[in-house]
Amino acid sequence: MAPKTLHPDSLAVHAGREDLASLGVHALPLDLSSTNPLPDLELGGMSYEVLATGGHPFEGGSNVYARLWNPTVARFEEALARLEHAEEAVAFSSGMAAVTAVLLALTHESGRRHVVGVRPLYGGTDHLLASGLLGVETTFCTPEGVNAALRADTALVVLETPANPTLELVDIAAVAAAAGDVPVLVDNTFATPVLQHPLDLGAALSLHSATKYLGGHGDVVGGVVACDARLASALRRTRAITGAIMHPLAAYLLHRGLATLPVRVRAQQESASLVAEWLRTRPEVARVHFPGFTESDPRGLVGTQQAGPGAMIAIELAGGFDAAAALTGAVELFTHAVSLGSVDSLIQHPAALTHRPVASDAKPSDALVRLSIGLEDADDLIADLAQALDVSAFARQRAASTTG
């Protein structure tokens, strides 16, 4: 069977591994070399120039140095590109390194310094864009305001869907149409290639904090961008100059994680739907943000743009910040920690943590708590949230009676 005909589940298992049998191995090889032998001075120099300027290794040449190229990283990139329906992918040491590389590469390539940021965005991305650290000027807007925000010197439009942390869904095709010739970067971390393919909808780049669902086990940090070959070359050049290449061990773990990605996402999504439905019944919860609910998906993007609602939930507590703080402190099965997409369930307060640097007018509510649903039994997760909500409610009642 030709690889291009494989079901996505099969592709997740086999992409980037097709040559293993011919190599006489079954598990993914791991190359930890920091430097590589040179065939001779002329070929070594040619190899260095090709790789440092964003090219691929050539027959008879050398990988030269790990900052320029690593075969384990390249295998992961090939697999992710195929899952994302992209020509190529470029892997970085972290998600923020990937965002930084995109900004540097596209502003340098175009000579333009203006970016449009569609809020809400991950706090780190928002902070980077707002800081002007890379010499970039950013106009923030809603999805409907993209066209009006464009300028003659706009190099890039950045959006995230589902958005972090409120899980708002953005119509990628509509934003791409509004952006016209300006490339659009979509942070696809929450949806993953299992549920969404931004490049098929008009985006130029699809970015992941690979630390999250792609790795899936909370033990690796990385970022990756899927795009066409021209943009990939520019990103590799930027990566070579800045030294932000992914470590080969991280690439090994991420490539291994891709094999179970579809199974994990679907199982986590199923549990998230049950937990979200239950949270709607609790009086302590003023609002549940979950793409599977009509009120969270007014444009009907789940089932069209996005194959399913995903496994992230955001809730707003009726008791505000105090209730949110009490809930995060009372859970037992959930881990109170930043990040998401792991096999274990996590809970965090975005306004106080990941979105702390975001401008006050764009910061999420102090009452909002974000849940990343893992692979635990849904009933056990519900039981943990129930006891934590009970504990936090009792604590607030006691505090109220004491002050009264």
| Separation of alpha carbons 107 and 129, rounded Å | 13
Is 316 in the same domain as 389? Answer: yes
| Separation of alpha carbons 75 and 124, rounded Å | 28
35: which DSSP letter? B
- CATH code assigned at 166: 3.40.640.10
- Clarify whether 4 is annotated catalytic: no
Is 110 in the same domain as 246? Answer: yes
Tens-digit pLDDT profile for residues 350-374: 999 888 888 888 888 999 999 999 9
Burial (0-12, 13-18, 19+ Cβ within 10 Å), 99: buried
Tens-digit pLDDT profile for residues 63-96: 999 999 999 999 999 999 999 999 999 999 999 9
143 with 175: CB under 8 angstroms?
yes
Is 276 in the same domain as 342? Answer: yes
What's the whole-number mean pLDDT along residues 259-282?
Answer: 98
Identify the active-site residue in 17, 75, 112, 212. Answer: 212
**Does residue 162 have a cis peptide bond before it, meaning omega lies within 30 degrees of 0?**
yes
Q: Tell whether the model's pLDDT for residue 4 goes beyond 90.
A: no
- Clarify whether 212 is annotated catalytic: yes
149 with 116: CB under 8 angstroms?
yes
Residue 112: closest CA among 91, 133, 130, 136: 136
Tens-digit pLDDT profile for residues 307-365: 999 999 999 999 999 999 999 999 999 999 999 999 999 999 999 988 888 888 888 89
Dihedral class, residue 341 (left if φ above 0, else alpha if ψ from -120 to 50, else beta) = left
The tokens for 271 are: 């549990």
| Separation of alpha carbons 86 and 77, rounded Å | 10
Is 227 in the same domain as 241? Answer: yes
- Residue ranges making up the domain that contains 271: 262-403
Identify the active-site residue in 65, 122, 213, 252. Answer: 122
**242, 258, 274: which is the final residue of a domain?**
258
Identify the active-site residue in 9, 31, 48, 67. Answer: 67
- Clarify whether 344 is annotated catalytic: no
- Clarify whether 390 is annotated catalytic: no
Identify the active-site residue in 126, 171, 187, 384. Answer: 187
